[in-house]
Structure 1
Amino acid sequence: MGLTTLEPTATVEDVVAVIDRDGGVIIRDFLDAETTAGLEADLRPVLDSGGFGEEDFMGKRTRRLGGLFKRTKHGAAIVRQPLFRGAAEHYLCRPVTGWTGEQRLEVVPRIQVGATQVIDICPGEGAQLLHRDDIVWLWRHPAGYQVPRVQVMFAATDFTAENGGTLVVPGSHKWSDERAPRLEEAVSTVMTAGSALIWIGSTYHGGGENRSDSSRTGITITLDLAYLRQEENAYLTYPPEIAATLDPDIRNLLGYQASEPFLGYIEVNGIMKDPSALFGDANAETMKFG
């Protein structure tokens, strides 16, 4: 039995219900055909000119690209897609309370892009080891109240069981860290180009074996808690002169925005300010606690 596929007319509540049950869900026609074609046109020449990985986990017959938002303007459509963004906000933007003196403080965490990768699995690639992506923070399971990551794998080409469609272990997001995943428990993500898989950081998954005669290209982006270190170093990938060319909402998602109450601030003339002040934002917040 494969993963559940929902139509693009589904609600965020529908998406969350399936993820709560299975750990992941497929959204048919996640992006329109024009945007999908634009992503393929922008990225294919770079992929075809690149090399393969040098070890088994990253894939010796797999090409990878990072820094998505400086390679194509169409990448923004993925993080703006309402079902992905809505699911991320549901899991990540959960209030946290504490005290400043006798004043009770409630903070809603912000979200950020933690990593972007274009993954082109070529013929002859074997199955990747099943893993949880929240292992980057050594997250423990069961995780309890807070989920650290919601992730998408956008299908730039068709995903099939034969060409390396992402393997997912349904229900594994509920497992303790004492249980190891087995390959026979995984199902292949089967979806047409323009569709997408959404899952959370505790779900075991991995790239599939490509037994076909063509490559399988996916674009993965993570939306993470903004108070955790980013997996892809955004400030070296998108230094201020590059970040200044991006739309403000994308720049903020890449970390040029503080996480409340004041994590990630910059100092401007002795005042703690939101990093958006770097880009002439007259509304840049003065950071304060309490």
Structure 2
Amino acid sequence: MTHVQPDADLEHVVAILERDGAVIVEGFADPDTLAGLRADLEPGLEAAAYSESGYDGQRTKRLSSLFQRSAHMSPVVTQPLYLGSARRLLQQPTHMWIGKVRMEVTPSIQISFTQAIRIDPGQGRQPLHRDDAMHLWRHPGPPCRLQLMLAMTDFTAANGATLVIPGSQHWDDERAPAYAEAIPAVMPAGSALLWQGGVYHGGGANTTDAPRFSLSVALDLGNLRQEENQYLAVPRETVQTLPDEVQRLLGWERCPPGLGQVETQDPMLLLEQTQQELATRPRGANPLT
């Protein structure tokens, strides 16, 4: 798998993602962010129960609602290579006709999924899968998701590094994955694996005596339902403390041409006004509502 540094050229990273479907960014998170995330999330993971299903891992602990649990998530989701690549890959213009007017529309992107993951000793390999299967996405075709796995501890082939089949986003839906085709995303703590939703992957087996700790975030097209309901996972009071860009990524934005509106308005306005105030506010132009 190709490794790049955090100052790599965005066009180069996008080209790798288009070719291989996955890339590792070393030094993705700075030491302070990494330490803050560990301090915020490790107690919750320690208290969490193991998963009951074999798919999620019966020696694996998972913790969601990460933007509610840690104030250190914003630098992760806005890291330039991650957010920039997601915008380039996912926000592709399309068009529609409104009467005799041909309109070009570019969808937004949104945070769909957040999860901290601890793979403990004795956990076996996870079944290989595509994360965009959540939306019943068909392949080959344009991507709908770009996901990251941030290594909070070193990822090794022995401790459960994520297994990835490079290039598998190009496969059709009849070809099944095999472990023999997968390679482990070996990387030091603070690095991140970025991969398209159509790439086959899965957690590796942890044959060591120490846990493997990571967190994952997925950015999806704004016209798809979020995998994790961010409106319930992150209270409005917490959203109001976050940067404007992160508020919008959490779904507090109208996806063109008009998805997610409140009183036909951009939901960002609801962070500062009441719904009654929105209802009496002059409407913006929207030909579809």
Could you say which TM-score interval applies, normalised by the shorter chain?
A: over 0.9
Q: Given that residues 112 and 226 in structure 2 are in contact (C-alpha distance below 8 angstroms), is that contact kept between their aligned partners in structure 1? A: yes
Indicate which of 251, 254, 271 corresponds to 1:279: 271
CA distance in 1 between counterparts of 2:23 and 2:282 reads 37
Give how far 1:21 is off. 1.7
Give unpaired runs (5+ residues) of structure 1: none
In the TM superposition, what whole-angstrom CA distance separates every residue of 1:92-111 from its partner, at most 9, and x where no partner exists? 11101111111110111111
Indicate which of 16, 21, 24 corresponds to 1:23: 21
What letter corresponds to residue 187 of structure 2 in structure 1?
Answer: M
TM-score by length of structure 1 reads: 0.93
Q: Is residue 162 of structure 2 the alignment partner of residue 166 of structure 1?
A: yes
In the TM superposition, what whole-angstrom CA distance separates every residue of 1:121-148 from its partner, at most 9, and x where no partner exists? 01000000000000011011111xx310
Give how far 1:277 is off. 1.4
Give how far 1:22 is off. 1.3
Q: Is residue 51 of structure 2 the alignment partner of residue 53 of structure 1?
A: yes
Q: Secondary structure at the match of 1:113?
A: strand
Between the two proteins, the alignment pairs up a number of residues equal to: 282
Give how far 1:252 is off. 1.3
In the TM superposition, what whole-angstrom CA distance separates every residue of 1:219-248 from its partner, at most 9, and x where no partner exists? 110011000000001121124344333333
CA distance in 2 between counterparts of 1:40 and 1:168 reads 25
Give how far 1:38 is off. 1.1
CA distance in 2 between counterparts of 1:69 and 1:284 reads 32
Q: Is residue 142 of structure 2 the alignment partner of residue 149 of structure 1?
A: no
CA distance in 2 between counterparts of 1:75 and 1:154 reads 11
Q: Given that residues 274 and 287 in structure 1 are in contact (C-alpha distance below 8 angstroms), is that contact kept between their aligned partners in structure 2? A: no
Q: Secondary structure at the match of 1:74?
A: coil
Within-5 A mapping of 1:129-208 = 129-143=127-141, 146-208=142-204
Q: Which residue of 2 aligns with 1:42?
A: 40
Give how far 1:280 is off. 1.6
- Taking only aligned residues, the RMSD between alpha carbons, in angstroms, comes to 1.7
Q: Which residue of 1 aligns with 2:228?
A: 232
Give unpaired runs (5+ residues) of structure 2: none
Give how far 1:19 is off. 1.4
Distance 1:262 1:284, change over 3 A: farther
Name segments (4+ residues, structure 1) moved above 4 Å.
Answer: 281-285
Q: Secondary structure at the match of 1:130?
A: coil
In the TM superposition, what whole-angstrom CA distance separates every residue of 1:135-164 from its partner, at most 9, and x where no partner exists? 011011111xx3100111011111000000
